[in-house]
């Protein structure tokens, strides 16, 4: 009896858009006055938003409309706090000046692109997000109930065991919304949620967003060109034209508003299309007249035009006057350690299920291991081929540099966009994410490197002594880790095209400097070349491999019977000629560890600056843009 009653209660809550098993949040009404936004274009500024006003109320679904380039997405980004630099004016929440830091904790921003983990099912994605957002505040069973409730609300129950890559466009969009509903935010922003969807999927998406708004949330979305059916779903419409407010009121008031300005919408015409056409100047210069009539958003005349009394339909969540619930909601639902474990589990799932990528990497490592091993086969003990064995060390390092570096260069730039969304919406702290990311990639790189070494080391007849095997492996794996860290650092800053270009190009001087000066004996190099050579981590890798195989060897190498003379039979003589008489494995390994830590720190710093740049980083970017502008002007 009790379970049946609880089930009925959940059904009623879902019908109203409430989430009964989550902490209730105070409704938030968002208002803005004299809002401006400008960007630097060369020496001048381009004004995008021109002192607009408006108010978005809780319990209502608001659509931001306008022609292309009018400032819809810019307005959404500024209100969400996604773009701050260059913005001016005042934004208020429930009548009080907005505290941007606190506001970001209350609101969620769902971007246009559906950035999801492709190899994780809907249920798994929801449970992982619940662990991150809700934390240990409720039991696993209660989290499951919350997830099921949201999936029912957004009609995703039938697809809960489907991986994200196999979802339809509408299902992906609904999953993006579902993931952000887990901590019941009072404000939700969406950038063009219907883009790429057909009429049926768009209508379902908007109708579900209206259902979400009915739970007492402020839902604001930018929409490009809604159909008449879609337009009828919106409670409130905000039209932007040339950075100004051309209409601000109920969707039902659009046609009467235009009629008052002697602009009659044809009976068979879509009101949304008509007001967008008028705003773009297709019917003449009426924008100034529209802006003046609506007072650039100040006027509330059309706000409640023919809006039926929905007090029976809307049961807004009660305002928590004590504020205790609100303060709890502002904190991360999980600790840094919990976030690390949850994110690592998610990344491991992604890695293991991407079987095609795993098979490709494994095949490549096996293939190169066999090719390199056969090219340098049986050279480890052969005194007549000591120089060739030295070249084998070099080829090993090149393989350990390129193979781990290329995957992050081609995949991580896209992942940065996902991090942007999740980090901006306060899923986790960046330190926890980066630590989990490095751990997951390091484990995979270690396994693949060991597979590669399992082929090349014995095939080339290197000494089968455990200490030497371990030292050789340690140097190769350390070089692989550093190379991967460099790839992540590059990919944290650049897009895929530039990352894939810069990574291999950067490797060329590192490879050249790694072997510069070897073979010249103990003759000292000019100080400038010593400094430059010390900047290549591959140099320490070369010295480490030589030390691992040749250091402290008492016996000479074997000179085969077919060889007339073995110049480098003596290891001491070979090390002296190569200028490596004083190489130390532990020194070189220690330097590689330091470089690894520095590269990981650099990658973390660059990723943090990509997500939330500080003043110094922004200044460098401004200077770079200025230099770029000056150079382009000089070519004109």
- Out of 288-292, 400-404, 631-635, which region has the weakest mean confidence (pLDDT)? 631-635
Residues 544 and 439 in one domain: yes
Query: Which of the listed ranges 35-44, 126-135, 525-534, 576-585 does the model predict with the highest average pLDDT?
Result: 126-135
Query: Does the residue 89 lie in any domain?
Result: yes
Neighbouring residues of 628: CB distance < 8 A, sequence distance ≥ 6: none
Q: Is the pLDDT of residue 322 over 70?
A: no
pLDDT digits (tens, 9 = 90+) for 82-135: 888 888 999 999 999 999 888 988 899 998 888 899 999 999 999 999 999 887
Residues 244 and 380 grouped into a single domain = no
Q: Are residues 409 and 520 in the same domain?
A: yes
Instruction: Please give the C-alpha separations between residue 443 and each of 321, 447, 453, in angstroms, as whole numbers.
Output: 49, 6, 15
- Same domain? For 356 and 310 the reply is no
User: 8-13 contacts: CB < 8 A, separation 24 or more?
Assistant: 10/145, 10/149, 10/152, 13/149
Residue 100 lies in a domain: yes
CB 400, CB 479: distance < 8 Å = yes
Residues contacting residue 342 through CB under 8 Å, at least 6 positions apart: 128, 131, 132, 334, 428
Share of the chain above pLDDT 70, in %: 87
Asked whether residue 330 carries a pLDDT value surpassing 50, the answer given is no
- For residue 16, pLDDT over 60 is answered with no
Same-domain pairing of 278 and 194: yes
Q: Is residue 536 part of a domain?
A: yes
557 occurs within a structural domain: yes
Which domain-ending residue is among 260, 286, 315?
Answer: 315
479 and 616 in a single domain? The answer is: yes
| Whether residue 249 is found in the same domain as residue 389 | no
First-last CA distance in the chain? 80
Predicted local confidence at residue 618, as pLDDT: 65
Please report which confidence band the pLDDT of residue 387 belongs to, taking 50, 70 and 90 as the band edges. Answer: confident
- Classify residue 327: in a domain, yes or no: no
pLDDT confidence of residue 244: 93
> Is the residue at 389 inside a domain?
yes
* Phi, psi for residue 111 in degrees, rounded to 5: -80, 170
CA distance linking residue 66 with residue 60, whole number of Å: 19
Residue 434 lies in a domain: yes
Residues 611 and 530 reside in one and the same domain: yes
Cα–Cα distance list, 127 to 144, 146, 418, 468 (Å): 7, 9, 18, 46
Do 354 and 220 fall within a single domain? no
pLDDT of residue 3: 42
Domain shared by 376 and 460, yes or no: yes
Residue ending a domain, choose from 263, 283, 315: 315
Asked whether the predicted pLDDT for residue 49 surpasses 60, the reply is: yes
Q: What is the 3-state secondary structure (H, E, C) of 334-378?
A: CCHHHHHHHHHHHHHHHHHHCHHHHHHHHHHHHHHHHHHHHHCCC
For range 6-14, the mean pLDDT:
43
Do 198 and 227 form a contact (C-beta atoms < 8 A)? Answer: no
pLDDT digits (tens, 9 = 90+) for 69-80: 888 999 999 999
Say if residue 446 is in the same domain as residue 347: yes
Comparing 1-10, 415-424, 518-527, the range with the smallest average pLDDT is 1-10
Give Cα 562 to chain centroid, integer Å.
Answer: 60
Kindly state the helix (H) or strand (E) to which residue 110 belongs, with its residue range. Answer: strand 107-110
For the segment 378-387, the average pLDDT, to the nearest whole number, is 81
> 35 — alpha (psi -120 to 50), left (phi > 0) or beta?
beta
In a domain, 18, yes or no: no
Q: Is the pLDDT of residue 455 over 80?
A: yes
Q: Tell me which residue has tokens 């980090």.
A: 423
Please indicate, yes or no, whether residues 340 and 283 belong to a single structural domain of this protein: no
How many structural domains are present in the chain?
2
pLDDT of residue 20: 56
The domain in which residue 599 lies consists of: 336-632
**Is the model's pLDDT at 320 over the cut of 60?**
no
Residue-wise pLDDT for 281-300, tens only, equals: 887 788 999 999 999 999 88
Distance CA 303, CA 286 (A): 21
Task: Measure the CA angle with vertex 65, ends 59 and 68; round to 5°.
Answer: 150
Range among 16-30, 187-201, 323-337 rated most confident? 187-201
CATH number of the domain within which 93 lies: 3.40.50.300
Q: What is the pLDDT of residues 500-558, one digit of tens each?
A: 999 999 999 999 998 887 766 667 778 888 888 889 999 999 999 999 998 877 677 77
């Amino acid at each position: 009896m009790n379970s049946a009653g609880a089930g009925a209660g959940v059904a009623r809550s879902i019908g109203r858009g409430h989430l009964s098993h989550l902490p209730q949040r105070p409704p938030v009404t968002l208002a803005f006055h004299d809002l401006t936004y400008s960007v630097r274009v060369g020496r001048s500024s381009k004004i995008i938003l021109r002192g607009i006003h408006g108010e978005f109320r809780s319990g209502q679904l608001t659509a931001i409309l306008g022609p292309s380039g009018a400032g819809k997405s810019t307005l959404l980004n500024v209100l969400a706090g996604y773009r701050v630099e260059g913005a001016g004016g005042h934004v208020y929440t429930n009548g009080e000046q907005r505290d941007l830091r606190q506001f970001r904790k209350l609101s969620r921003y769902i971007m246009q692109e559906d950035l999801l983990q492709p190899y994780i099912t809907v249920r798994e994605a929801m449970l992982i997000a619940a662990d991150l957002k809700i934390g240990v505040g409720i039991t696993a069973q209660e989290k499951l109930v919350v997830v099921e409730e949201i999936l029912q609300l957004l009609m995703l129950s039938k697809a809960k065991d489907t991986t994200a890559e196999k979802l339809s466009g509408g299902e992906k969009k609904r999953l993006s919304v579902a993931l952000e509903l887990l901590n019941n935010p009072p404000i939700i922003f969406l950038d063009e949620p219907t883009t790429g969807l057909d009429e049926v999927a768009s209508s379902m998406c908007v109708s579900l967003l209206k259902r979400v708004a009915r739970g007492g949330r402020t839902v604001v979305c930018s929409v490009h060109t809604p159909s008449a059916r879609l337009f009828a779903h919106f409670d409130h419409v905000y039209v932007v034209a040339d950075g100004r407010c051309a209409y601000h009121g109920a969707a039902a008031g659009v046609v009467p508003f235009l009629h008052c300005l002697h602009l009659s919408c044809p009976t068979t015409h879509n009101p949304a299309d008509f007001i967008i056409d008028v705003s773009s100047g297709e019917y003449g210069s009426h924008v100034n007249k529209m802006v003046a009539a609506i007072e650039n958003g100040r006027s509330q005349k059309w706000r409640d035009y023919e809006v039926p009394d929905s007090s029976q339909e809307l049961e807004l969540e009660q305002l928590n006057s004590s504020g205790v619930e609100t303060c709890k909601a502002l904190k991360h639902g999980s600790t840094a350690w919990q976030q690390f474990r949850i994110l690592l589990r998610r990344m491991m799932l992604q890695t293991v299920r991407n079987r095609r990528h795993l098979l490709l990497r494994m095949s490549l490592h096996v293939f190169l291991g066999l090719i390199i091993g056969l090219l340098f086969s049986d050279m480890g003990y052969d005194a007549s081929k000591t120089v060739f064995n030295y070249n084998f060390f070099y080829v090993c390092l090149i393989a350990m540099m390129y193979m781990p570096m290329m995957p992050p260069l081609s995949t991580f730039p896209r992942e940065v966009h996902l991090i942007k969304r999740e980090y901006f919406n306060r899923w986790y702290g960046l330190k926890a994410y980066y630590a989990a990311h490095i751990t997951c990639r390091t484990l995979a790189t270690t396994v693949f490197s060991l597979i590669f070494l399992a082929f090349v080391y014995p095939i080339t007849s290197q000494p089968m002594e455990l200490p030497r095997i371990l030292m050789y492996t340690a140097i190769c794996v350390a070089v692989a880790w550093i190379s991967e860290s460099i790839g992540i650092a590059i990919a944290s800053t650049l897009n895929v095209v530039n990352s894939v270009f810069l990574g291999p190009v950067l490797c060329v001087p590192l490879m050249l400097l790694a072997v510069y000066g070897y073979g010249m004996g103990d003759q000292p190099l000019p100080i400038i070349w010593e400094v430059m050579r010390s900047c290549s981590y591959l140099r320490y890798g070369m010295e480490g491999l030589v030390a691992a195989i040749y250091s402290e060897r008492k016996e000479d190498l074997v000179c085969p019977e077919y060889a007339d003379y073995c110049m480098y039979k003596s290891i001491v003589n070979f090390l002296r000629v190569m200028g490596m008489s004083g190489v130390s494995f532990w020194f070189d390994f220690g330097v590689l560890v330091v470089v690894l830590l520095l590269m990981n720190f650099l990658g973390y710093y660059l990723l943090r600056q990509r997500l939330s740049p500080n003043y110094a980083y922004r200044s460098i970017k401004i200077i770079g843009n200025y230099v770029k502008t000056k150079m382009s002007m000089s070519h004109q």
